[in-house]
Structures are given as structure tokens and as C-alpha cells.
Amino acid sequence: MPNISGNGSEKQAFLLEMRSIVKDFPGVHALKSVSFAVRPGSVHALMGENGAGKSTLMKCLFGIYQKDRGEILLEGKQVRFGNPKEALEHGVAMVHQELNQALKRNVMDNIWLGRYPTRFGGYVSEKEMYRRTKEIFDSLGLSIDPHRVMGTMSVAQRQMAEIAKAVSYDAKIIVLDEPTSSLTEQEVAHLFEIIGTLRARGCGIIYISHKMEEILKISDEITVMRDGANVATAPAAEMTMDRIIRLMVGRELSSRFPEKLSKPGEVIFRTEGISSRFTQVEDVSIHVRKGEIVGLAGLAGAGRSELLENIFGISARKCGKLLLHGKEIRNRSSREAIRNGFALVTEERRSTGIFGILDITENTTVSALKRFLVGKFFVNDGKRYQKTEEMIKRLGVRTASRKTQIRTLSGGNQQKVIFGRWLLTEPEILLLDEPTRGIDVGAKFEIYQLMEELAARGKSIIIVSSELPELIGVCHRIYVMSGGKVTGEVDAASTTQEEIMTLAAKNL
């Protein structure tokens, strides 16, 4: 049972108070006496660079980690949750960025898993489970069939179902971790409506995001963390984007994007009329020059990620050609694509990008093991360790050591390790799928700088991004896709977001 004390009889100004929270890990002072509070019926944004301590603070609240010092008060009563189940049972819910759901079960099974409503005799009441689920969905304005299998739904629908699950616990505090990282503008608008409904009920919402425009629009208060400490808390109305950036990174960022110094050369790679056998890619012809950064824009479901997977040999090709240096290549598998000089940074880094239980060394060197072979069967670990240390230093990975399990790193640092992995393969063409998703402004700038540096060295980059300012800011040219087809090509230096969105709406 959780430890709860205090009478809580008087009306509290805060639903939640976290006072002077301290958390240490071996070699890392993760939280340095952090205080944080949430008012009823408000949205309190929590911001900071990757590794600033946001996730650690929330995990201490949710019972995933146990704080070393400090106290947590919920409705004026001191609490200490031993695990997430205890937190949920006492009205504290967390919707994680990386959804962890039973994809082969239906929606209502996922919502009531472990606490199914039962009839006399202990039998599960499907009828009652459906009724309760439908009641919650209706109250939130969700048109999701409770009988639908979770794995058949979009990420946005699955996320809405997870929020409904939090509501089913009668949550007083709901933590939303990067809730819009995979959502379209329309889906974001729907999410904001749901947040408005929860706010009107008196819920306290903790909103973690790196999208500053969003934060300034939805939040009542903003707390900024840096290096494990709370550096500022202020009403959102008193905050500006420039002030938030200064507080987050501890320095001025004169520009969100580095200057484009790379000069594209001759065409190095092209696709000619390629179509996928099982995914939405139809008759796509694009090209990329040496030292060029080319963007792929489009709405969700446009076929951008599927195109990268087709090029990299993950999905089967129905027809069309791939030409590298004017010669046809096959890329029938990812292994063949790597041999041909391609690298792919996937969108879902936790599920398809990292080996969570392995350390940084293993994750960095896994795709380039041949470089470290002694003879045919033995690996020179000394060289592997040396290259890993070089990549950690070069990319600015924040970690206690190269032996740290990658799953314990922040999202931005995980992404840097993935970049380091592919750089060791010395690719000619990098395929980047949402490479800055869920990453703070400082880490984003570092990745943009790395991309520009690679382009200046003659590497060619094709990047998928749902953030149009990002594509315009880092790319030389942008292809726009809709319905699996290319609907236009624009010059990044002269295009506008409106022009790109018009092209993205074709074929719908």
C-alpha cells in the first residue's frame, strides 16, 4: 500500500505538490531538489532539454522510481507510491510517448485490463465493460468502437484510448508525455478539445512537449528544467519562445537552424517509378544530389515512411528502379542496402531503433561489426570501445559511460547514439524518418548541425518530417506526397507552408 499521511481537510491551492525532490543514479545527480506544483483545472507544461530531468521527475511521481529525498503531496496528503498501479488507483495517470498496449486485444480489454468488471461468481461482464467504455468515450467525444482491435487503429486513436483509460481511473492528475509527436493538426485540435474537457472537470494536466508553439497555446503555467533543476516557473502568458529557449539551453540560440553551407553537386541517387507491393507507394520518382538534403512532406498516411522503407529494402517492391551513380541496384533487404551505402534512422526509435537492454557500445557498433573483426570470428573489443568513446564525444551524448544501458538515456541522447551507429557504416545516403521527433530544441539544433556537416562532406540525405518549418529550415528541396504519390516538388528557399499544405491535400 502507498504511504499516505495528512488530513487534507482544508481546501488546497494545489492538487499536486512535489517538494525538493532528489534522485541520484550511479554517477548521475538526476534531480537536484526539484519543486513542482499543479493547480486543479489547469495545464502545467514541463519543458527542458533531453536529459534535463523531466521524465525522472514524473517517474518519481508515478512510482516507477523511488525518490531519495523530498516529499509528494496529492490533495494535501503526503503520498509515496511503490509502483504505477498504486499511483493509478489513487488518481495519478501517465500517458507515455511510447504507447505500451496489448495490440492483439480490443480497446475495452486494454482499458480494463487487470480490473475487469465482474458479475456474481467472478465472471467478466462484457456487457458492463462495453457500457462503461462507451460512456467514457462519449464524455470525451471519441468515436472509437470499444470492440475494435487496438493494433488496427492509428497512433492517434490508440493515444486517445490511452487517455480514456486514464479517465477510467477517475484520475485527478494526468501526465501527457509528448502527446502530439505523431498527430496531424486535426488530431492535435481534437486532443486539445479533450484536454479542455478534462480541465473543466478540475483535472490537473502535466503536459510535456518540445513544441513551443503548442505549449504557449495550451498551457496555464510553464516550468522549465535544466540539468536536473527547476530553473523557472511562470504563467504561460509571461513566457515567450525566446525566453523558454534561453532557460532550456542556458544560452542564446540565434537561429533555430544552422546556415546552409553545403553545395549540392551531381545527382547521386534516383528512383524511377517505384511502387510497393504491400504499402502505399505508387509510381514515385525522386532524386537526390551529392551533398544535398531533400525533404519528404505530407500528411499522415501519405506514404513518406513507406517510401524510405522501400528504398532501404524493408518493404517489397512491386516495380520501378533504384539507380545509384547511374547504375541500377536492388536493395532487396536492409543488409543489401547497407552494403550499397544506405542507412535508415527509423521513426519509432524505441521499438525499431534501439536495443534497450544493451549498452551504448553494443548499440553504436552493431551495424559495423565487420570493421572490428580480427580474422573471421573474433571481435576487437578495444577498437569497439575506442570508436564508441569517439562517437559519444563527437555527438555530445550525455551519459555516465559507454556501458550505460541505452534505454536509460533521454530520447535525444538515444537518437544521437543511433546516428553514431550509422556514421560508423560510412554511408553515402542517409534516410531519416522523423529524426527529431520528441527531441528538445537544443538537441534538434545539434542534429541539424550534424546533417549540415554530413552534407558538406558530400553525404546525401532524405528526411521525412511532419514539421514543415523544420523541412524548410534544413532542406535544399522538398518533395510533397499524398496518397502514396508525389504531388509536387518545391525549392525550400522560396516555398511556404501554405504551398506545401496545398500539395499535400491533393489526391485526398
Which parts of the chain register pLDDT below 50?
1-11
pLDDT recorded at residue 10? 40
> What does the pLDDT look like over 235-289, one tens digit per residue?
999 998 888 888 887 765 556 788 888 889 999 999 999 999 888 899 999 999 9
pLDDT recorded at residue 160? 86
How far apart CA 456 and CA 461 sit, in angstroms, is 11
pLDDT recorded at residue 4? 42
pLDDT recorded at residue 27? 67
Describe the crossing of helices 126-140 and 185-200 by its angle, rounded to 10 degrees: 100
pLDDT recorded at residue 351? 66
Helices and strands in the chain, H and E counts? 16, 23
How far apart CA 456 and CA 460 sit, in angstroms, is 9
pLDDT recorded at residue 246? 83
Task: Name the nearest CA neighbour of 435 among 474, 482, 398, 388.
Answer: 474
How far, CA to CA in Å, does 237 sit from each of 54, 217, 234, 278? 22, 9, 8, 48
DSSP 356-396: TTSBHHHHHHGGGGGGGEETTTEE-HHHHHHHHHHHHHHHT
pLDDT recorded at residue 11? 46
pLDDT recorded at residue 7? 40
pTM for the model stands at: 0.64
Report DSSP state, residue 350. I
DSSP 3-state assignment of 267?
strand
Q: In this structure, what are the phi and psi dihedrals at residue 133, rounded to the nearest 5 degrees?
A: -65, -45
Kindly provide the residue ranges of all beta strands, DSSP E only, lying in 75-136, ordered along the sequence: 77-80, 92-95
pLDDT recorded at residue 9? 36
